Amino acid sequence: MRRLSRETRAQVVALLSEGIAINAITRVAPVFKPTVLKLLTDLGPVVAAYQGEVLRDLALTRVQVDEIWAYVGMKAKHVPAERRG
């Protein structure tokens, strides 16, 4: 089995962090889609551990959260009658 070079892995991770689609990454970087998915799967626990240790007890006065609003709550057509208004 061939391993990706450190530079290629860094390139794929940078593209993922920019929000580039996986299919687009396979066109930009010389990797196959299963390879990108495996790297993403392997990267998940590492990122979770990093965030769990580093992003703790932050003295924040303001937090900006982008694009999450679409997934929180309900769309207007799905709100039950007792929760409207």
Answer yes or no: is pLDDT of 69 > 80: no
Q: Higher confidence at residue 67 or residue 21? A: 21
Q: What is the mean pLDDT of residues 70-75?
A: 60
Mean of the per-residue pLDDT values for the chain? 86
**Cα 55 versus chain centre, distance:** 16
C-alpha span between 41 and 48 (Å, rounded) = 12
Q: In sequence order, which residues have a C-beta less than 8 Å from that of residue 30 and are 6 or more positions away?
A: 8
pLDDT tens digits, one per residue of 35-59? 999 999 999 999 999 999 998 999 9
pLDDT at residue 73 in the model: 62
Answer yes or no: is pLDDT of 2 > 80: no
